[in-house]
Structure formats: structure tokens, C-alpha cells
Amino acid sequence: MKTDSLKYVMIAVIGLSLLVTGTALSAQLTGGTSTQAAPSTGPEPSTEPESSTGPATSPSTTPSMEYESVDKPPVRTLDIPDVDIAGDLRIVETRWRGQSMYIYYNLALMNKGKRNIEGRVQYRIRLIYVPTRTLFKETNKYWHGPTIRTDYWVLPDRTGRIIFEKGAEGAPSELKDVKMIVDIDPDNTFGEAQRYRENNRCIATW
């Protein structure tokens, strides 16, 4: 029995020695004691560098020039033709002289295109009796006046006139139910694009 008891005591002493030796070795390897401190419950230390100029400011909302150059759409230029002739027919007076009807008018012109227009401009006048759709008068004339401008209307040098006879060529006996159609530059001498020629026509009705 003494031998067995001594055996157990020796085993316990050897075990305790191994435990102390292991603890000391662990402390040497970690560079500190084996007793660890309880984890801190406070906030984690910030890894952001501290500013030496005071509190941080809000980021700017102004886009950079690089962003603007990418996002800004290209500037478009207006597609204005060289020639876009427009007319404005102004009836000055109508008067019977015996069997003849005199229609006095002014034809104001403007070029809504890019350049001024010099020289004579041809135009065509047609008189139609609306109830019967009868063309009873047609004539070609030339517009004489100052330079046709791009910024305002210009009038001819003199008032124009057109005359028709009562009952002649299907004309009415009075100035009623009559349509006067004026087409400016009917042969398109100035090479105006077709899509701009709608305002080349002027109409007056009675």
C-alpha cells in the first residue's frame, strides 16, 4: 500500500511540475504573463488620422469639370437656310371704274434665311371666282424695291394693281366671292428648299 501511495504522490508532483513549466514557457513566448486582462467594453480606437486644421467640412456638391465635360450635351446650331422668302399681301384700295375693277395692293417681303436678297423678284397673281372655281385672271409681275432684309419687312417702291372686267373670262359682276392668290418666285429662281416655300403664298378674299 505504501508503494502504491508513493507512486500516486510522485505522479501528482510530476504533473504539477509539467503544468508550471508549460505556463512559464507560454508566458515567455507571448512576452507577458499568462493572465489575460478582460476585453475592453469601450469604443474601438479610430484608425482615421486626426485633422490638424479643425473639424471636417461637408463635401462640395459642385460637380467637377471632368464630370461636366462628360455629362453636358453638345451645343446644337440652328439649321437656318440662306433663302426663305416670305410675303405679306396688303390690300390698299378697290375701286370700280366703269366696267373695270381696280385692286391696289402692296406686297411686303422678307427673307427669313441668312442673307439679304438684291434685285427683282418675280411673283404671280391669280384671281379665282370661288362658287364656280373659275380662274378668270392670271398675270406675272416683278417686285421692285429695296434690298430684301432678314430682320424686317420691306415694301415695294410703288403700289401694285391688277384689273379685271365684269363678266369677262368668267369674272363676277361684283367683287364678291373672289380669291386673290399671290405666289412669290414661282419658278424658284433663288433655289429655295421646298420645305420653306409654304410662306411664299399670300391670299386675300372678298
The C-alpha cell at 7 is: 507512486
Rounded distance, CA 29 to CA 14, Å?
A: 23
The C-alpha cell at 24 is: 512559464
The C-alpha cell at 111 is: 427673307
What pLDDT score does 17 carry?
Answer: 53
What pLDDT score does 74 carry?
Answer: 56
Domains of the chain with bracketed CATH = 85-205 (2.60.40)
Question: What is the pTM (predicted TM-score) of this model?
Answer: 0.60
What pLDDT score does 118 carry?
Answer: 87
Rounded distance, CA 67 to CA 190, Å?
A: 47
Rounded distance, CA 81 to CA 58, Å?
A: 51
User: Which letter, b or e, does each residue of 119-146 get, where b requires 16 or more Cβ atoms within 10 Å of its Cβ?
Assistant: eebebbbbbbbeeeeeebbeeebebebe
Rounded to 10 degrees, what is the CA torsion of 86, 181, 104, 176? -140
What pLDDT score does 142 carry?
Answer: 95
Give the mean pLDDT per block of 10 residues along the chain (206 residues).
Answer: 50 51 46 43 48 43 42 60 92 96 96 89 96 96 93 93 94 95 94 91 96
What pLDDT score does 79 carry?
Answer: 78
- DSSP assignment of 97-113, as one string? ETTEEEEEEEEEEEE-S
